[in-house]
Amino acid sequence: MGSNSLHVLKGINFSVEEGELVAIMGSSGSGKSTLLNILGMLDELDEGSYDLDGVPIKNLNETKAANYRNKFLGFVFQSFNLINYKSAMENVALPLYYQRVGRKERQEKALKYLDQVGLKEWAEHLPSELSGGQKQRVAIARAMAAEPKVLLADEPTGALDSTTSYEVMDLIQKINDQGNTILIVTHEPDIADMCKRIVHLKDGIILEDKKIKQVRASEYV
Amino acid sequence: MRFIFDSNTWQEIFGSISKNKTRTVITVIGVLWGIFIYIALAGSAQGLNNGFDKAFKTVAMNSMFVWPQSSSMPYDGFKTGRLMDLRLEDVSTIQNRIPEVQFIAPRIRQGDGGPNSEPVYTVKGQKSGNYGLYGDYPVYTKIATKKIYDGGRFINEEDIEQARKVIVIGERVQQELFEKDEDPIGAYIRVGTVYFQVVGVHKLANGVSFDSDSDMFIPFTTHRKLYNTGDLVSYLCIAAYDDVDVVQVEKDIKALLRSTHRAHPDDERAFGSFNLGEAFGRTMDFAFGLTFMSLIVGIATILAGVIGIGNILLISVKERTKELGVRRALGATPSEVRNLIVLESVFLTLIAGILGIILGAGVLSGINAFTKDIDFPYTNPTVPIPYVLGALVIMVVLGTLIGLIPAQRAVSIKPIDALREE
């Protein structure tokens, strides 16, 4: 990235088991987003190794990375990143399009996942017609639609007020309850407390890695 | 290839195109204008071409006229300024000595052989007029096609042999001497002091012609008996074979005439000539130049339009950086993203091209309808299908190439950077 290289992560060693809900915390500049991007194959690591589901992820060209992302990973972003000229359903169906799933099946699946996030009635609406929380739920449905091994969420509640944040976290917890592995980058302690494990980063190293007792978001809703 | 025929691909393309209607329309107009100019120019050039073709159609392309003038050099005991003449024997001399010549039609214009060179006073019943009179051989129609009205004919061999008093009149002569619904064929008119039977009416041919619609033709032999002109000829109409160099034939004929008429071999003025082949060639060169220029201008305009598309797509890629980043995060491979942009470019170019062709064709047919009734060398302005297909191919190729620039840019941005961009 750019001509100046900067060592953001300085030796990180950790693994995530299937079904975990991990919060990666840290102040800005601590490397938490970089870690998530490397895990998401959006960024490259210069040293070390990364195994995903027993597959070593290295020397990826863009095409291969795209295929891995499509197969293994679901993304949820702080700014939702929905495609603004596509309806909620089309947005959810997009990863399936890149999996070469047929149109009919795509729509069925998209509707199913929209239903899971409680937005089936909003399927034909454009993102501009949805509230922030709804947009994030559509984004989560989109991330889930490809049935990924890992769901990566970069500050999923960063652009939402606390009530909506808890709704979104409630949804994430429910998805986790179904056995999905989820990693969340956040700097909000209350959001982190809703996970099962917190990894604290500071200046590119792991400061603390602890399992916690999960706070259910539904208690706040 | 599968990608192109996948309906999902097209849904994606339609989605992104219809999202930005203004952008799409402006983009399309650029190329539409280009192909419109191309079609309009190429069609007009073709129309002019056809128009010239039609104008020259009535006269053999490789024909010429040779007439006597006066000498400008003393030679063989003759002084300068001797009046030259042409005689029937020159016809056989030329035919024998110059094999490139296909037809020779000697003509005599009334008055050239005698003191009276006025148009001839002609009477039909109560009506009269003055018209030019020519003595002709049937072969004349081989060189200058005469359109004869239904039921009529031109002078034939028997007319010549028997020196019949038959006449072919011009369209205007018919209009001035005959009633509107009167059939002139078989009628008698008085030319000078002699009655002639009308055997045909010739229609004035548009374009290049030596005759006017007020001219009348009688058999050469009749003319010579009436006006006592002997073997005298006013001028020769000569057609060379199709594949010969008419300019050289023209030179050869004049050189031959100079030698048989005892004029100085270098006396260019002794005999005058006009070479239609040369004139035709020059006009055709002009028409070709026009076609060629319209091709160049048209293609340059298309190019400008396509570059415009590339430009707008480049901006649109910049606008869509984030969207493209999302697509790649969701698993779009770089080639899928690239194909999306390129296909968008090609698709827009093609749509614009087809609209432009339709518009251009409409304008051409409009011009055609407008110029149909006026005397202007412009006929059937068409653009040959290969030109149209060629233009479409060029557009697709250019659209692809130009689309590759924004497409390459789109994939050169890493998805992570694209997503980070706010």
B300-332 tens-digit pLDDT = 888 888 888 788 888 888 888 888 888 888 888
User: What gap in Å lies between CA B327 and CA B338, rounded to an integer?
Assistant: 12
CA angle at B97 for the pair B94 and B100, rounded to the nearest 5°: 80
Residue B87: which pLDDT band, with cuts at 50, 70 and 90?
very high
User: What gap in Å lies between CA B317 and CA B181, rounded to an integer?
Assistant: 75
- pLDDT at residue B412, as a whole number: 83
Span B8-27, pLDDT tens digits: 778 778 877 777 788 788 87
| Nearest alpha carbon to residue A151 among A115, A170, A179, A190 | A179
Q: Would you give the end-to-end CA distance of chain B in angstroms?
A: 35
Q: For B320, name the nearest residue in chain A, comparing CA atoms only.
A: A83
- Contact call for residues A155 and A188 (beta carbons, < 8 A): no
- pLDDT at residue B135, as a whole number: 92
- pLDDT at residue A111, as a whole number: 93
The whole-angstrom distance between B363's CA and the closest CA on chain A is: 37
One domain, residues B181 and B264? yes
Contact B335 A146 (CB under 8 A): no
Of B213, B248, B274, which marks where a domain is finished? B274
Contact B328 A66 (CB under 8 A): yes
User: What gap in Å lies between CA A88 and CA A129, rounded to an integer?
Assistant: 10
The shortest CB-CB distance from A85 to any of B19, B333, B336 is to B19
Residue B66: which pLDDT band, with cuts at 50, 70 and 90?
very high
- pLDDT at residue B209, as a whole number: 59
Which of the two residues, B281 and B175, has the higher pLDDT score? B175
With left for phi above 0 and alpha for psi between -120 and 50, is residue A80 left, alpha or beta? left
Contact A70 B331 (CB under 8 A): yes
The shortest CB-CB distance from A98 to any of B19, B336, B422 is to B336
The whole-angstrom distance between A134's CA and the closest CA on chain B is: 18
* Pair of tokens at residue A86: 């596509």
Interface residue B159 vs chain A (CB under 8 A): no
Position B15: which residue type?
G
One domain, residues B152 and B219? yes
In 3-state terms, what secondary structure has residue B154?
coil
Contact A66 B331 (CB under 8 A): yes
User: What gap in Å lies between CA B356 and CA A200, rounded to an integer?
Assistant: 63
Overall average pLDDT of the A44-73 stretch = 84
Q: For B422, name the nearest residue in chain A, comparing CA atoms only.
A: A79
- Contact call for residues B31 and B302 (beta carbons, < 8 A): yes
Domain that holds residue B44: 2-57+281-420
Tell whether the model's pLDDT for residue A214 goes beyond 70. Answer: yes
- Contact call for residues B196 and B226 (beta carbons, < 8 A): no
Position B131: which residue type?
Y
Tell whether the model's pLDDT for residue B116 goes beyond 50. Answer: no
One domain, residues B148 and B191? yes
In 3-state terms, what secondary structure has residue A130?
coil
One domain, residues B229 and B372? no
Span B337-357, pLDDT tens digits: 888 888 888 888 888 888 988
Which of the two residues, B199 and B307, has the higher pLDDT score? B199
One domain, residues B312 and B213? no
* Pair of tokens at residue A52: 């995903």
Which of the two residues, B241 and B57, has the higher pLDDT score? B241
- pLDDT at residue B40, as a whole number: 85
Return all residues near A52 (Cβ < 8 A) that are at least 6 apart: A39, A68, A72, A149, A150
A contacts of B333 (beta carbons < 8 Å)? 62-63, 66-67, 98
- B 303-362 near A (Cβ less than 8 A): 322-323, 325-336
User: What gap in Å lies between CA A196 and CA A203, rounded to an integer?
Assistant: 23
Contact B411 A142 (CB under 8 A): no
Overall average pLDDT of the B239-259 stretch = 89
Tell whether the model's pLDDT for residue A4 goes beyond 70. Answer: no
In 3-state terms, what secondary structure has residue A108?
helix
User: What gap in Å lies between CA B44 and CA B293, rounded to an integer?
Assistant: 12
Of B274, B306, B334, which marks where a domain is finished? B274
Interface residue A127 vs chain B (CB under 8 A): no
Return all residues near B272 (Cβ < 8 A) that are at least 6 apart: B66, B67, B68, B69
The shortest CB-CB distance from A42 to any of B18, B336, B415 is to B415
User: What gap in Å lies between CA A135 and CA A79, rounded to an integer?
Assistant: 9
Percent of chain A with pLDDT over 70: 97
Contact B419 A77 (CB under 8 A): yes
Interface residue B7 vs chain A (CB under 8 A): yes
Q: Write down the mean pLDDT value for chain B.
A: 84
Helix (H) / strand (E) containing A98? helix A88-98
How many contacts does A have with B, using Cβ atoms within 8 A? Answer: 74
One domain, residues B265 and B296? no
Which of the two residues, B253 and B151, has the higher pLDDT score? B253
Contact B330 A85 (CB under 8 A): no
Overall average pLDDT of the B85-103 stretch = 92
- pLDDT at residue A1, as a whole number: 41
Which of the two residues, B385 and A21, has the higher pLDDT score? A21
One domain, residues B314 and B397? yes
* Pair of tokens at residue B143: 């060189």
- pLDDT at residue B18, as a whole number: 79
Percent of chain B with pLDDT over 70: 92
Overall average pLDDT of the B398-403 stretch = 84
* Pair of tokens at residue B400: 């692809």
One domain, residues B257 and B316? no
- pLDDT at residue B198, as a whole number: 94
| Nearest alpha carbon to residue A166 among A203, A219, A114 | A219
Interface residue A150 vs chain B (CB under 8 A): no
Query: Which residues make beta-bridge pairs with B78?
Result: B75
Return all residues near B198 (Cβ < 8 A) that are at least 6 apart: B152, B166, B167, B168, B169, B184, B185, B186, B187, B188, B189
Overall average pLDDT of the B149-175 stretch = 89
Which range in B54-68, B82-96, B145-159 is most confidently predicted, on average pLDDT? B82-96
Q: For A86, name the nearest residue in chain B, comparing CA atoms only.
A: B15
The whole-angstrom distance between A213's CA and the closest CA on chain B is: 32
Percent of chain B with pLDDT over 90: 24
Interface residue A91 vs chain B (CB under 8 A): no
User: What gap in Å lies between CA B284 and CA B55, rounded to an integer?
Assistant: 11
* Pair of tokens at residue A36: 């998530």
Of B274, B298, B331, which marks where a domain is finished? B274
- pLDDT at residue B3, as a whole number: 62
Overall average pLDDT of the B109-128 stretch = 74
- Contact call for residues A195 and A23 (beta carbons, < 8 A): yes
Phi, psi of A137 (to 5 degrees): -70, -35
Interface residue A107 vs chain B (CB under 8 A): no
Contact B415 A95 (CB under 8 A): no
In 3-state terms, what secondary structure has residue B270?
coil
One domain, residues B154 and B292? no
The stretches of B88-128 forming alpha helices (DSSP H) are 88-97
One domain, residues B319 and B217? no
Which one of B316, B330, B408 would you mutate to disrupt binding with A, by most A Cβ within 10 Å of its Cβ? B330
The whole-angstrom distance between B325's CA and the closest CA on chain A is: 9
* Pair of tokens at residue B174: 């018919």
Tell whether the model's pLDDT for residue B363 goes beyond 80. Answer: yes
User: What gap in Å lies between CA A6 and CA A175, rounded to an integer?
Assistant: 36
User: What gap in Å lies between CA B294 and CA B343, rounded to an integer?
Assistant: 29
- pLDDT at residue B19, as a whole number: 74
Helix (H) / strand (E) containing A144? helix A132-145
* Structural domains of chain B, count: 2
Residue A5: which pLDDT band, with cuts at 50, 70 and 90?
low
| Nearest alpha carbon to residue B413 among B322, B342, B335, B309 | B322
- pLDDT at residue B161, as a whole number: 93
The whole-angstrom distance between B294's CA and the closest CA on chain A is: 42
One domain, residues B350 and B211? no
A contacts of B11 (beta carbons < 8 Å)? 103
Q: For A36, name the nearest residue in chain B, comparing CA atoms only.
A: B416
The whole-angstrom distance between B307's CA and the closest CA on chain A is: 26
One domain, residues B43 and B74? no
The shortest CB-CB distance from B15 to any of A70, A85, A103 is to A85
In order of start, what are the domains of chain A with their CATH numbers? 21-83+149-219 (3.40.50.300)
- pLDDT at residue B5, as a whole number: 67
Interface residue A31 vs chain B (CB under 8 A): no
Tell whether the model's pLDDT for residue B4 goes beyond 70. Answer: no
Q: Write down the mean pLDDT value for chain A.
A: 87
Q: For A99, name the nearest residue in chain B, comparing CA atoms only.
A: B331
pTM for the full predicted model = 0.65
Neighbours of A123 (CB within 10 A): 19
Q: For B414, name the nearest residue in chain A, comparing CA atoms only.
A: A42
User: What gap in Å lies between CA B357 and CA B228, rounded to an integer?
Assistant: 64
